[in-house]
Structure 1
């Protein structure tokens, strides 16, 4: 998942300035705001590890809002000159970090941030954090966007997400503008309605929902003076709401990918910190320099045969996808002698013999090295250790980037670290000798890391997890990636045609409702049709017209039949472009898609799938499920076999908590959701209704995933009070689960982490946070991580045991995909019935527990048919 940081440049500068005492350097420049800004950037980069970053600034004093209301932001105090002189250096600071910044005439920083956060919300690969001292931006909160509101200075932060906004105001994020419309905003000189403060505004919105509906129902409002004010200041209220509404259609000449961020501008930062005399920040940088400096007094040899029996290997490629791009350089060391050369100078047969002749071979990223060797037609997959996997286990919150970053965590500095290769990284084309020197440094770092990570893993009781699960799993995944899965492109082409016909039919229906032809993909044209021609109620406006975002359309579903068709059109359009057409471009010459599995991303230990992501193919709608028809066995004599763990998280929960009621249900093969409904509602089995079972299922899985009363209320369409009562009844019915929830949070507060059944750690840094929302989320994370992490470990263990099973390997089965709790095999038709009990047995006994693991299966001529 990509993480986008958006900073409200001006407001954070104000917070930093007023949050610190006046400071200045020897040249007389005031530096307190710059210093505060630098501290904030350091903390955000360290804690959040962003992949994309932008700081937005206001371009000038006049914006489109001033044209609408000349007194907008009138009366604000003039900026102190001590702050004004720091704005240009702050921009220099941002540039030194390699962070993009942007400002545009007529618009405010809020509008830039609003537009980018909307684009990120619409991209399934992004999460967004907005940092601001302006509460107006809280209207942008969503399931994928959180606002860090700096209250005093830059260290005291409130976290605004939809749950917090609901808890604090009883509003949805989009209603923040209605709140401002009624009560106004003194800081921006937005008038609002006289006599209406926050308490009154919230009461009105709780009853009517929006400014417009309040004004439509003035006669029903209690209070003579309030009625008079609302009547006399209708236009002020509507204008105030519009002034407070962030414009989310700012025209840009760049896209989200252009905001890619890489924290590797150390030299530029160092020079600026020296100029500004930021001694503490300079000290931090110097403290992070290597304890173990790699020097180049080791012996460079001309032949790999001169190296010892235990070596470290590194193959380098100047490209992202190691499954299709061959390596360019090779570096091997035994810690005393090193061999580095261009790969063209090495005979593949000689390299293969060398690898097979060594007692131990250490690498960084086993899957990558295996894939690169296969590009040389070398079938070697017997590496001894992988320090990248070890680094991830030791700190799963840290993003894994490259050997140099990992080495830095252990006090090892990689000399000549000016050259980074691969997607999203700085790329140069250094001379051969400089590149050789850098690769020498890299492979030496890998070699030195091995002993350090072993010691740390043993101290943290994760050495067995590394050696017995993650490393052998990586070898299995390497073969799965190389093998790929066969895809019938003609089925995707056929589906593309069918969906396009449906889109055309829906488009015709939309035009019929509209009474004219227009461009459905044009927000301006669509807004005119919906809100002017069809006269639907306006929910939200932008500077360029009416908002036609999905959340707006969803609020209009009961107003006109055209809305349902518009929502269907958008769903199918995204499915068509992202998957039906997108997957066609991922099919290689061997008629297969070779997804890559990421072992070092999810802190729970779950695998993820990239380029393409086959774990996120939408299956909630039939058109999404039908995409699976394109995934087929290698030929007509084979079938695809899918085996799926049934309710594995709940079974893990029963095992961990030792809850007698849950254990009884699973051991007697009773439906757990029915059993839960019986306990929570106090009814007999025959009296459990479908709605009761549905609610019980929601709370069962809600408990597993750490759901809050707010989340459960949204899932079930009930009030938070009802949801809270439901959860309380559940925990009263399952006493051991309740005790586990309490104990695991206490353990996390004591230790700072929680563990899975295989000792995989997840650190919970916010468990002691003073921020209620951050602490609550941390507590839920502590509760669900041992469950989700253990479930992830179990299916990984099943994959490893399958690969190690002599009986299973007698079959001609090929493990192709792991999708959450499901394994997918390609196997001859003649062997499938004999293979099923073998692989089921492996999966169901991957880890012995006090409740049975249950595996369901199906097979057929394509992935769709197996379910």
Structure 2
């Protein structure tokens, strides 16, 4: 193994900006924006794997003002204000770097470029190899035999590495000439003027002939072309000023030494926990450790292994936990069951559970109360063994989640720790993780599962007390607990999938993508790499001469928002956008669904009831809530979801604009409330109010913009977020929002009042007393406080809407039983409920479903339910 040291220097601002604009505006379950951090993290993991650095540092810009402003006050002038959705992610990425034990640094009055330039020069003098990671072409001036620059190209997933040879091949220039090239061509993103009318090609041509900027101006009369000479003469002062601006200061007064950037690896558990907090589920396996964590000794506990269930000392209330190696309880083998009355604790093997009639009778007896950790998992696990369970009176997971949904972990040891009970191990301490995940010997397994059962019995008391103190007993007992058993039945039932249909769609889509590719090349008049933003940018903005909307440091932006603004400028744009969407459908959804069809021909998703801070349900393995439906090809995926019985139909029902109706109820805005009472189209009404026009004057664009504003208000959207949604300027978006609040003053008053209330009590609640704590609502950090304020505004709306659909599911389940119907719920997707039923029951469902769902809660405005039915999920929409 080589002992050669390698220093990796990352331009934090550059990479984070690129990641933000390259990825969709994602947020985790707490509503924290994470798209830029996610992209940055993926890049970081690749660097650690591929580069194996001995030293690593991430440099950040320290502020808006630098020493370059002394030379040119307008340096970086004209840049749009950093979107708040990005600003709040800088603090998160620093937290991420700390978790990875990676040094990060910034220097007042200097930029990340200068820090990197200075440290790379220091490293070179010590014989250390350097790799610079950035999206800024200015850094190419640092290239040397010891320093290679890796430029991010396609977002941050595609990169190009520049050695001196690669730089010469790409630009026919040496590193020093990069400074003069930038001096001539300028840089719009940094507001560096350069020579107006001179682009990259001309600048390179001039430098190949004259070598340096100084030599060029010393021999200006030798430049061919009168117009070019005029441009160079006119902007000579700007050229030399620009040269000074783009030159990286490699002698910056940094206060750290290279030795401080030593990287010795990171602690897996710390990073793993942060990934869970951020919602980076797809990255968790990247930091899994193979070693079993050393177990701390616990108090001695006797575990009874009864010969038969009749030997169990039953009391009026017994705790019951079923255990699996992973979260996939639909397919994993049951490891065993723990049962405890608080005094005696027992362990039953899977074989005992399956064969002992005494256990089966007790499980099915509704008068025998069972305390569980996860009622849904228990129900499904026993259902797989053809065992019915009734009488579940408590669910520790759900209760802990309601008490504080912002807690990162709700597994038994974590809950125990919060209530001073520490007599149980974490699963990874017993089962290991990563490649060494395995069940231990019978004795150790029995003790671990039994300890969990006892912990559940003990913890019921303090967690129930916390529910009472929060006035959440009703929310737990009448909503979350009964819903968990309905979800369990839905999961076990599964949804039938026509696999042949999915495969046919996959084949058809591949052909469609190939046709689109051919069409695009024909319209563009040339063949190129359609997946290369750089090549696409040249085709669109140079060859086809379309107007340049946005430039990046590496060329023309071809991001979705840019292409949306160009749709009417050239027929090729529409096809490119469609091409990108179809590719994602193919890879993410069609291929993904085909992988998770079970042996029974069904998909059995798992509903997450204790995850989001708003109370919304989510689903995993697979996520059936994010199948794209805006595109017809995406909606067609629903054609593969079919009834499980011959002669049955799919019946879909969903609440119409439930969040806006909740907003009207909570805000008590007279105009908004009356519009719903009158049954008016709320988006048309908003368009009339915002644009000051009559109903007949509202066109489709006005209504679309009004709709975006309506739903944007619910989600606490910023002017940046709205501008991205509508493809308009931030100034226009800000005006829309201001006009909305003028039209609906009650909404503005509600938002002001709820923020004040949140600051006073530290949390907000939904209509059904679901809480969300907001510790940052009084933070001195502007970005953290702003996010908390937006959260305070939208959580009561989103959370109340989530509570309503949950209650509707319970009410509807009861109504179906009372009416003795065979119809059964299959899926819940946001405000939509998917049911399958015999065809002869459809007529009754058309009456029953809206009757139940529209009266599940009483609001100041009416609830409205839309419904449809058909042979597939697609036909039912």
Alpha carbons 2:339, 2:345 under 8 Å: kept: yes
CA–CA separation in structure 1 for the residues paired with 2:701 and 2:623: 34
Corresponding position of 2:51? 104
Corresponding position of 1:315? 322
Q: What does 1:812-851 correspond to in 2, within 5 Å?
A: 812-851=822-861
Correspondent of 1:355 among 336, 342, 363: 363
Kindly state the Cα deviation for residue 298 of structure 1 after the two structures are TM-superposed. 7.0
Kindly state the Cα deviation for residue 714 of structure 1 after the two structures are TM-superposed. 2.5
Secondary structure at the aligned position of 1:617 is classed as coil
Corresponding position of 1:29? none
Kindly state the Cα deviation for residue 201 of structure 1 after the two structures are TM-superposed. 7.3
Corresponding position of 1:367? 376
Change (3 A) 1:144 1:486: farther
Corresponding position of 1:388? 397
Alpha carbons 1:56, 1:102 under 8 Å: kept: no
Corresponding position of 1:478? 488
Residues 541-578 of structure 1, C-alpha deviations (whole Å, 9 max, x = no match): 88xx9998878988998998766545433322221122
Q: What does 1:415-454 correspond to in 2, within 5 Å?
A: 415-417=424-426, 419=429, 427-454=437-464
Change (3 A) 1:682 1:157: farther
Corresponding position of 2:301? 296
Kindly state the Cα deviation for residue 726 of structure 1 after the two structures are TM-superposed. 2.4
Correspondent of 1:146 among 83, 89, 93: 89
Residues 565-593 of structure 1, C-alpha deviations (whole Å, 9 max, x = no match): 45433322221122223212222222211
Kindly state the Cα deviation for residue 681 of structure 1 after the two structures are TM-superposed. 3.3
Kindly state the Cα deviation for residue 814 of structure 1 after the two structures are TM-superposed. 0.8
CA–CA separation in structure 1 for the residues paired with 2:538 and 2:438: 50
CA–CA separation in structure 2 for the residues paired with 1:158 and 1:785: 36
Change (3 A) 1:200 1:535: closer
Secondary structure at the aligned position of 1:586 is classed as coil
Corresponding position of 2:129? none
Alpha carbons 2:319, 2:370 under 8 Å: kept: yes
Corresponding position of 1:866? 876
Secondary structure at the aligned position of 1:582 is classed as helix
Residues 1:259 and 2:286 aligned together: yes
Kindly state the Cα deviation for residue 682 of structure 1 after the two structures are TM-superposed. 3.4
Corresponding position of 1:770? 780
Instruction: Give the root-mean-square deviation of aligned CA atoms.
Output: 5.3
Kindly state the Cα deviation for residue 694 of structure 1 after the two structures are TM-superposed. 2.6
CA–CA separation in structure 2 for the residues paired with 1:637 and 1:207: 74
Structure 1: 5+ residue runs without aligned partners? 1-7, 14-43, 60-99, 111-130, 160-173, 183-187, 242-254, 269-288
Change (3 A) 1:786 1:318: same
Residues 1:632 and 2:635 aligned together: no
Alpha carbons 2:189, 2:551 under 8 Å: kept: no
Q: What does 1:95-134 correspond to in 2, within 5 Å?
A: 102=49, 104=51, 133=60
Corresponding position of 1:335? 342
CA–CA separation in structure 2 for the residues paired with 1:225 and 1:771: 49
Corresponding position of 2:696? 686
Alpha carbons 1:329, 1:341 under 8 Å: kept: yes
CA–CA separation in structure 2 for the residues paired with 1:454 and 1:109: 48
Secondary structure at the aligned position of 2:51 is classed as coil
Corresponding position of 2:333? 326
Correspondent of 2:625 among 601, 615, 620: 615
Q: How many residues align?
A: 711
Alpha carbons 2:648, 2:839 under 8 Å: kept: yes
Alpha carbons 1:641, 1:826 under 8 Å: kept: yes
Alpha carbons 1:181, 1:237 under 8 Å: kept: no
Kindly state the Cα deviation for residue 783 of structure 1 after the two structures are TM-superposed. 0.2
Change (3 A) 1:144 1:298: farther
Residues 1:657 and 2:664 aligned together: no
Correspondent of 1:780 among 764, 774, 790: 790
Kindly state the Cα deviation for residue 378 of structure 1 after the two structures are TM-superposed. 0.9
Kindly state the Cα deviation for residue 594 of structure 1 after the two structures are TM-superposed. 1.2
Corresponding position of 2:67? none
Alignment TM-score, normalising by the size of structure 2: 0.69
CA–CA separation in structure 1 for the residues paired with 2:441 and 2:564: 58
CA–CA separation in structure 2 for the residues paired with 1:568 and 1:55: 26
CA–CA separation in structure 1 for the residues paired with 2:195 and 2:680: 45
Q: What does 1:731-810 correspond to in 2, within 5 Å?
A: 731-805=741-815, 808-810=818-820
CA–CA separation in structure 2 for the residues paired with 1:299 and 1:821: 47
Alpha carbons 1:510, 1:565 under 8 Å: kept: yes
Alpha carbons 1:808, 1:839 under 8 Å: kept: no
CA–CA separation in structure 1 for the residues paired with 2:668 and 2:105: 38
Secondary structure at the aligned position of 2:89 is classed as strand
Kindly state the Cα deviation for residue 528 of structure 1 after the two structures are TM-superposed. 10
Alpha carbons 1:181, 1:211 under 8 Å: kept: no
Alpha carbons 1:646, 1:853 under 8 Å: kept: yes
